[in-house]
Amino acid sequence: MLFGIAIFPEKHVQDLANSWRRRHDPHYCLIPAHMTVREEEEWTDEQLQLAVEHLEKITSAFPPFSVHFNRVSSFYPVNNVLYLALKETAAMQKLHGDVCSGPLTNGTSKYVYTPHLTIGQNMSAEELHDQYGNLRMQTFDITSRLDRIHLLYQTDNGSWTAYQTFLLRG
């Protein structure tokens, strides 16, 4: 079964992201607006148990924190993805590093970890440039408090649902 780890920002951030995702993200119906902490991966039952134990340990020592989205950016030309970017990424980078250690060490990631909230993907280059041109002129000043991470699994119909939620208790 495929598992992944994500953070869902507060509702006001999800609502803003979803106003673009509805039209520009084919995964809109499969998973709520989120920030990926660890990419999806196929796990056995044993790997799942080790992951749960590891996440319990990590989240017991990691404090809740806030993120500030301050602009729209893109992964073009690597990927035709638009996203809300963070002003400061240190806390998300630290959380990612802590989560992706021990039994969840992932040496096969094809990208450098860039904390973000996707608002459009799988777009044509023309559509991406058009939307990016419009959105980069807008001012963004959105803060969200993050106090939990979610271990998700992919269902048979391709949607993602929570297997377990871990409160940040540090």
Residues with active-site annotation: 34, 116
Tokens 């609502």, located at residue: 15
Q: How many CB atoms lie within 10 A of CB 103?
A: 13
Distance CA 36, CA 114 (A): 9
CB 24 within 8 A of CB 134: no
52: nearest Cα among 155, 150, 154: 150
Give me the sign of the Cα torsion angle 22, 27, 32, 37: negative
Distance CA 161, CA 150 (A): 9
